[in-house]
Amino acid sequence: MKSIQRNFNEVKRKCSHGSSYLCFIEVIKSKRFSKQTISRWFNKLVDPEDYEKNEKKDILRFLESITNMPEDNQKYGGKALLSHESAKKEAIYELLNLS
């Protein structure tokens, strides 16, 4: 699965101001990776400073939901992407350049 790392590095290069967590989301969304694969690559690629340690289990559940989400997000009506409070806050801060 080196393609995850290669894609992550490419996304990170293109969005150098984005957090590693947001780059990881971009790489795995709608790609149907297993829970084990997500966890392994999350631990290798995402900077621990990009998330709260006590939220890690919730984050991994969230990542699992978006990797299995249809590409067009129709099935979930867009709600899966909004299910994790940290991701929402971080995305808003990124958009407003407040981070």
The predicted model scores a pTM of: 0.67
Q: Is 30 left (phi over 0), alpha (psi -120 to 50) or beta?
A: left
Q: Could you report the per-residue pLDDT of 12-21, keeping only the tens digit for each?
A: 988 877 789 9
**CA 72 – CA 50 distance, rounded (Å):** 27
Per-residue DSSP letters for 21-36? HHHHHHHHTTS---HH
Q: Could you report the per-residue pLDDT of 62-72, keeping only the tens digit for each?
A: 999 888 866 54
Q: Could you report the per-residue pLDDT of 39-93, keeping only the tens digit for each?
A: 999 999 999 999 999 999 999 999 998 888 665 444 444 444 444 555 655 665 5
Number of compact structural domains in the chain: 1
Residue 48: the pLDDT is 93
Q: What range defines the domain where residue 21 resides?
A: 2-96
Residue 7 reports pLDDT greater than 80:
yes
